[in-house]
Amino acid sequence: MTSMLINREDLDFLLFDLVQAETLVTRDRYAEHSADTFRAIIEAAHTLAEEKFAPHNRKADENEPTFDGERVHMIPEVAEAVKAFADGGFMAAPHDEEWGGMQLPITINQACLALFRAANVGSSAYSFLTSANANLIRAFGTESQKQRFLPPMFEGRWFGTMALTEPHAGSSVPDIRTTATPVGDGTYRIKGNKIFISGGDHELGENIVHLVLARLPGAPAGARGISLFLVPKFRVDADGKPGARNDVALAGLIHKMGYRGTTSTMLNFGENDDCIGELIGEENRGLTCMFHMMNEARIGVGMGGTMLAYTAYLHAAEYARTRAQGRPIEAKDPTAPQVPIIEHADVRRMLLIQKSYVEGALGLCFYAARLADDARTAPDAAERADAEQLLALLTPIVKSWPAQFCLEANHLAIQIHGGYGYTREYPVEQFYRDNRLNALHEGTHGIQGIDLLGRKVALEDGAVLALLRRRIAATADSARACGNAELASHADALQAEWDTIAETTTQLRAVTKEDIRRGLANASVYLDMFGHGVIAWIWLQQAVAAHQAQQAGTRSAAFCAGKLAAARWFFNCELPKAGPQHALLRRLDATALDAQADWF
Amino acid sequence: MTSMLINREDLDFLLFDLVQAETLVTRDRYAEHSADTFRAIIEAAHTLAEEKFAPHNRKADENEPTFDGERVHMIPEVAEAVKAFADGGFMAAPHDEEWGGMQLPITINQACLALFRAANVGSSAYSFLTSANANLIRAFGTESQKQRFLPPMFEGRWFGTMALTEPHAGSSVPDIRTTATPVGDGTYRIKGNKIFISGGDHELGENIVHLVLARLPGAPAGARGISLFLVPKFRVDADGKPGARNDVALAGLIHKMGYRGTTSTMLNFGENDDCIGELIGEENRGLTCMFHMMNEARIGVGMGGTMLAYTAYLHAAEYARTRAQGRPIEAKDPTAPQVPIIEHADVRRMLLIQKSYVEGALGLCFYAARLADDARTAPDAAERADAEQLLALLTPIVKSWPAQFCLEANHLAIQIHGGYGYTREYPVEQFYRDNRLNALHEGTHGIQGIDLLGRKVALEDGAVLALLRRRIAATADSARACGNAELASHADALQAEWDTIAETTTQLRAVTKEDIRRGLANASVYLDMFGHGVIAWIWLQQAVAAHQAQQAGTRSAAFCAGKLAAARWFFNCELPKAGPQHALLRRLDATALDAQADWF
């Protein structure tokens, strides 16, 4: 039976034909692996996702966690699922063997996680947040911190959170007010209120380790005065044993539109002046530590947005193939049998848009994950640096493009289901609600636009953008080398678009230097436009790979034809949308910038 | 305090400056009214919507109706609200004085209903469905049917539904299978299953009157063999007294993503072969009766989609003016106070998009309502015919444009609220969920596209489209006459766009005659493109009216400046999106049409 989580042929294609994950096994770190072990681990993840995560996805949505003033209650399936995840080795999978990990490449690990995201984004978040937390401890913790905190986290006994946001400081993290006062014994007394802390309280394990941003006494104002602290729910002694309850109180659960299975919490630290934490990383370098982890977290957000739409697309395609309704538009006989709705051009149009969005986005996420692997393990230092920088440039797109366009794909999956799609008897409405979060957390859409246009495209005086364009040119060359007129035409369109993007960028950067408000006023439009350019590039890569697989007969004919059709759609019907965006950006449209508050 | 339902200055502007509702009082039917009575009735509606509908909007969402196998239960506020609505005279408002109505123009009635939709779309639906039902009885019922059914409906004691859809025939209404067999005494035995029947069961009143589409024995196959029946929950005797329970059974409630306050039902008619109904209208003319009501129902859908986004926009603007977060992008001092987020260009951009969508859509809905009034009451027969035809042409846009673009406005209202917008502690997430229905019911988006391109633009051999273009030309002339360079430039852009639309239309119509599948393959794209052209026209009308009000000082300066900015945004940043759509349509892009089922 067809999996509704992912098209495994597509996953294999993206991992091995597109980003050539098997080449990673030449790296020392991954030398124990082979393409076969990669596939076996993915298979195990797929089975676990189908068996332990997917079955309670709707139930967790309909029975969200509750707080009785003392404890958080949730359906028992969540604890079973996260335990099975850890028992299967997935908590530690990408980590060092010395910590019990498999040293799985980030690319393959993300492929595994993608399956859990598609199956149940709410339940899998507890483990993923813990993994992000552990990553940070591994990178910045002292040896003692690593020894005490990592093993129970990798074993799935302890969980972790990231506690950044405060009620008065959402996107403006530097404005946080939580304080950390030295006790004198090397620990700190933490005091402050945090909000929107995912997984901030629950009873899935023995402890919850909060990574809390706070200010030391006399720290400089703003971003340069923020430090990071490890604050466990139950205090941890020098041997790593959890003991007394720390002064971390759940002030309440937040009730969300979707993603309901994940507790979102308001936490009070130090209400009774008795919340003890320990510094991790250097004083006043908390944001640097946090942002070090952000690239990977943002790949995770992109992957989450993508997979929620990917599974919805599979449901829509299946529904369209099996639901009979209406007749071909040219048919005259009202007694003829109804046809599957996939026979209607408009339904195929909606499927093709979804396919071009979700498979394009997934290709981008894997490309980014591969860059993360290359940044860590490529043999050549220059190659590592290139990968690091390219990833930094692409991160705003990875974070934001799926949140914007895969949500649109979710919208279309509902539309294909007609009235049924709007009901909770079908899964697509939940995927849509769940996915709406992704344009908000880990940096809103607007913040990503400012990051891209205000910072990333200017990195190294534009050298990183130039590097991206060289990669794009190489893809275009490989497309022209296929000897296929359509691919050559896509290649020309892609390079023309990137010439245009480069010109628009140069113009906007020049303005930004003079007048940053005017230069960045339409950064969100720039973000969407740039994203379409990136996804077109990913689609040309996929088209080339599909063409080659078609020639070699290594993938099924229908699969290759579908890939080439989705690429065609993206080049013919999506990329041209950038035209009016360039015009808007180049004329420095100030309609919004000049609007006054009392006009609304 | 500012109303969160509507900007009353805008409502006044749209009704009196844009569609000149006060001129309607010269018509015999509306002779008892004046602009003052219109305003007084709207004021009463506003008060009632604020006091009886808005307060339980969230509660109704969180406590959706339940069915215990015998009875439907809902929160008591719903019954109180619908009773207050009827007691206030709003059930009968547009109807004849002879039936206890106010003979309110459709335009003014829609303005009143808009306030209830903004306040609580779920609770107001019960009354609105009843009103649509009563409209149909008034138009097609016998004298006896009108005498027996209309008074209790107008008094708010009986309710009504439209029972079209069956499980195997959603969008394909001609495929329904419900049967009606003559009993011999003039009544019919009804047998069949209906689904998605809004308001199909509840205990808000004494009776529920279902308008049921069914087939008579030996009726022709397809659309020409469908008749319409009045099927009450409690049988109605010759004097109009409700008696024994009819064989209409609630098979279950459907649980929706939004619009939760309105019961959506599966109804079984004649499970025990004892469901009695009476024919309304002629045999086999049921769809004609139903479609006669559809124009107005579709204005209602457009108005619903618009108002859900309008209230969300007001919430977003208020939040943006009061929520402090971050600093101007050029500011360097991290200790400076945070500024209201409306100071950020991207937030103003999102507000301006919302404003241009919701006020543009509301203008269109009122324009359509005014056409409905003119079709009914204009003194000149030719004027009535023109209004009727123009309304028919515009109906697919009125139905679909708000469903598509005002939903996007709802998305942006959440985005402005940041993480809070995703929580159920704020209202904007519910508006978004509620609004998602509107692209599905009363004819999906795809069906509207086929209706527009396959039928409406070809009406009278294109004469109706030509009529629309003359109206547009007249608006452009009035804009040029303002002596304002920007308005003249908008006028030129609008006419150029409509020249392009006309050419695209001619080309597609020619193809459609030869190959209807190819000609209509991208009808949904055509629908969106055409819709932007229509909304641009509405915006130019608003800009002209705002300019005149600005010159005359009849509206506040901020209001006029806001209108002109929203028009500017629509012309500068929205209308150009049509360019790539024309290109796609003209090359008869067949990427979707030619895709195969197994490619997905």
* Alpha-carbon distances, residue B178 vs B45, B183, B195, B429, B529 (angstroms): 39, 16, 12, 38, 38
pLDDT of A596 above 90 = yes
Closest Cα in chain A to B598: A558
pLDDT for res B1: 53
pLDDT range class, residue A334, cuts 50, 70, 90? confident
Closest Cα in chain B to A513: B330
What would the pLDDT profile of B394-416 be if each residue is shown by its tens digit?
999 999 999 999 999 999 999 99
Nearest to A317 among B170, B254, B600 (CB): B600
* Alpha-carbon distances, residue B260 vs A36, A537, B63, B75, B432 (angstroms): 49, 43, 8, 12, 12
| B393 touches B422 (CB < 8 A) | no
pLDDT for res A474: 98
Closest Cα in chain A to B569: A591
Which of B257, B420, B555 to probe the A interface (max A CBs under 10 A)? B257
Q: How far is A190 from chain B (nearest CA, A)?
A: 22
CB-facing half-sphere around the CA of B518: CA atoms within 13 A? 13
Instruction: Tell me the C-alpha distance between B561 and B583, whole Å.
Output: 34
Question: How many residue contacts between A and B have a Cβ separation below 8 Å?
Answer: 287
Give every CB contact of residue B270 below 8 A, 6+ residues apart in sequence: B189, B190, B191, B192, B247
Q: Which residues of B touch A599 (CB under 8 A)?
A: 558-559, 561-562, 565
Instruction: Tell me the C-alpha distance between B131 and B260, whole Å.
Output: 20
Question: Considering chain A, what is the average pLDDT of its residues?
Answer: 96
Instruction: Tell me the C-alpha distance between A112 and A102, whole Å.
Output: 13
Sign (positive/negative) of CA torsion B288, B289, B291, B296? positive
Q: How far is A101 from chain B (nearest CA, A)?
A: 34
Give every CB contact of residue A552 below 8 A, 6+ residues apart in sequence: none
For chain B, say whether A415 makes contact (Cβ under 8 Å).
Answer: yes
* Alpha-carbon distances, residue A192 vs A64, A180, A247 (angstroms): 27, 9, 11
**DSSP, res B120:** -
* Alpha-carbon distances, residue A592 vs A434, B406, B528, B535 (angstroms): 30, 19, 23, 19
The residue to which tokens 């103003």 are assigned: B348
What would the pLDDT profile of B419-429 be if each residue is shown by its tens digit?
999 999 999 99
- Closest by Cα among B96, B102, B119, B99 to B47: B119
For chain A, say whether B459 makes contact (Cβ under 8 Å).
Answer: no
| B122 touches B107 (CB < 8 A) | no
Question: Considering chain B, what is the average pLDDT of its residues?
Answer: 96
Nearest to B418 among A170, A328, A596 (CB): A170
**8 Å CB contact of B561 and A344:** no
pLDDT of A1 above 60 = no
Instruction: Tell me the C-alpha distance between B336 and B329, whole Å.
Output: 12
Instruction: Tell me the C-alpha distance between A490 and A533, whole Å.
Output: 12
For chain B, say whether A598 makes contact (Cβ under 8 Å).
Answer: yes
For chain B, say whether A317 makes contact (Cβ under 8 Å).
Answer: yes
Q: Which two tokens stand for residue A389?
A: 């920088």
Instruction: Tell me the C-alpha distance between A372 and A388, whole Å.
Output: 7
Q: How far is B333 from chain A (nearest CA, A)?
A: 8
What ipTM was assigned to the predicted interfaces of this complex? 0.97
pLDDT for res B12: 98
Nearest to B425 among A255, A568, A572 (CB): A255
What would the pLDDT profile of A111-143 be if each residue is shown by its tens digit?
999 999 999 999 999 999 999 999 999 999 999
Q: How far is B101 from chain A (nearest CA, A)?
A: 34
- Closest by Cα among B303, B308, B295, B346 to B325: B346
Instruction: Tell me the C-alpha distance between B455 and B464, whole Å.
Output: 11
Instruction: Tell me the C-alpha distance between B454 and B508, whole Å.
Output: 9
Give every CB contact of residue A153 below 8 A, 6+ residues apart in sequence: A91, A130, A133, A134, A137, A159, A160, A209
Closest Cα in chain A to B587: A572
**8 Å CB contact of B345 and A522:** yes
pLDDT for res A171: 82
- Closest by Cα among A227, A231, A211, A241 to A277: A231
Q: Which residues of A touch B355 (CB under 8 A)?
A: 600
pLDDT of B293 above 90 = no
| A185 touches A137 (CB < 8 A) | no
**DSSP, res A248:** E
**8 Å CB contact of A597 and B223:** no
Residue B437 CA, chain-centre distance (Å), reads 11
pLDDT for res B269: 98
SS (H, E, C) A513-557: HHCHHHHHCCHHHHHHHHHHHHHHHHHHHHHHHHHHHHHHCCCCH
For chain B, say whether A425 makes contact (Cβ under 8 Å).
Answer: yes
For chain A, say whether B573 makes contact (Cβ under 8 Å).
Answer: yes
The residue to which tokens 């960045």 are assigned: A520
Instruction: Tell me the C-alpha distance between B178 and B202, whole Å.
Output: 23
Q: Which residues of A touch B576 (CB under 8 A)?
A: 579-580, 583-584
Closest Cα in chain A to B326: A172
Q: What angle do CA B250, B251, B252 make, to 5 degrees?
A: 95
The residue to which tokens 């609600």 are assigned: A433
pLDDT of A170 above 90 = no
pLDDT for res A331: 87
| A231 touches A277 (CB < 8 A) | yes
**8 Å CB contact of A599 and B445:** no
CATH superfamily of A8-154: Acyl-CoA dehydrogenase/oxidase, N-terminal domain (1.10.540.10)
Instruction: Tell me the C-alpha distance between B227 and A332, whole Å.
Output: 21
Nearest to A524 among B325, B349, B596 (CB): B349
**8 Å CB contact of A580 and B576:** yes
**8 Å CB contact of B355 and A600:** yes
| A188 touches A182 (CB < 8 A) | yes
| A111 touches A11 (CB < 8 A) | yes
Instruction: Tell me the C-alpha distance between A338 and A336, whole Å.
Output: 6
Tally Cβ neighbours within 10 Å of residue B581: 21
For chain A, say whether B174 makes contact (Cβ under 8 Å).
Answer: yes
Interface of A with B in 231-260 (CB under 8 A): 254-258
Q: Which residues of A touch B423 (CB under 8 A)?
A: 254-257, 264
Nearest to B346 among A195, A347, A449 (CB): A449
Instruction: Tell me the C-alpha distance between A454 and A221, whole Å.
Output: 22
Instruction: Tell me the C-alpha distance between A536 and A45, whole Å.
Output: 30
Give the right CATH number for B158-284 from 3.90.1260.10, 2.40.110.20, 3.40.50.360, 3.40.50.1100.
2.40.110.20
Closest Cα in chain B to A322: B597
Which of A535-539, A584-588, B336-340 shows the lowest per-residue confidence on average (mean pLDDT)?
B336-340
Q: Which residues of A touch B595 (CB under 8 A)?
A: 348, 351-352, 562, 565
What would the pLDDT profile of B23-34 be if each residue is shown by its tens digit?
999 999 999 999
**8 Å CB contact of A349 and B521:** yes
* Alpha-carbon distances, residue A154 vs A146, A149, A205, A304 (angstroms): 11, 9, 12, 22
Nearest to A346 among B446, B559, B580 (CB): B446
| Mean pLDDT score, A172-201 | 96
* Alpha-carbon distances, residue B129 vs A178, A204, B210, B599 (angstroms): 53, 48, 10, 42
Nearest to B423 among A168, A255, A584 (CB): A255
What would the pLDDT profile of B4-29 be if each residue is shown by its tens digit?
999 999 999 999 999 999 999 999 99
Which of A256, A314, A346 to probe the B interface (max B CBs under 10 A)? A346
Q: Which residues of A touch B433 (CB under 8 A)?
A: 257, 433
pLDDT of A178 above 70 = yes
Q: Which residues of B touch A437 (CB under 8 A)?
A: 422
**8 Å CB contact of A436 and B415:** no
pLDDT of B282 above 70 = yes
Domain range annotation of chain A = 8-154, 158-284, 445-593
The DSSP H or E segment spanning A584 is: helix A578-586
pLDDT of A76 above 60 = yes
Antiparallel, parallel or unpaired: β A227-232 and A207-214? antiparallel
**Same fold flag, B8-154 and B158-284:** no
- Residues of B noted as catalytic: 442
Q: How far is A35 from chain B (nearest CA, A)?
A: 26
Residue A510 CA, chain-centre distance (Å), reads 31
What is the full DSSP assignment across B358-384? HHHHHHHHHHHHHHHHHHHH-SSHHHH
Q: What are the strands, taking DSSP E only, across B255-391?
A: 264-269, 276-280
For chain B, say whether A527 makes contact (Cβ under 8 Å).
Answer: no
Interface of A with B in 395-414 (CB under 8 A): 411, 414
- Residues of A noted as catalytic: 442
Nearest to B591 among A196, A433, A568 (CB): A568
Nearest to B222 among A334, A450, A569 (CB): A334
pLDDT range class, residue B555, cuts 50, 70, 90? very high
SS (H, E, C) A67-87: ECCCCEECCHHHHHHHHHHHH
Determine the angle formed by the axes of helices B445-454 and B485-514, rounding to 10 degrees: 80
For A284, the 3-state DSSP assignment is coil
CB-facing half-sphere around the CA of A438: CA atoms within 13 A? 36
Q: What angle do CA B298, B300, B301 make, to 5 degrees?
A: 65
From the number of C-beta atoms within 10 Å of its C-beta (0-12, 13-18, 19+), residue A223 rates as middle
pLDDT of B297 above 90 = no
Q: Which residues of A touch B416 (CB under 8 A)?
A: none
For chain B, say whether A88 makes contact (Cβ under 8 Å).
Answer: no
Give every CB contact of residue A338 below 8 A, 6+ residues apart in sequence: A324, A325, A326, A327, B168, B169, B172, B175
Q: Which two tokens stand for residue A592?
A: 């919004």
Q: What angle do CA A4, A8, A10 make, to 5 degrees?
A: 110
**8 Å CB contact of B517 and A579:** no
Q: How far is B206 from chain A (nearest CA, A)?
A: 29
- Closest by Cα among A237, A245, A249, A244 to A278: A237
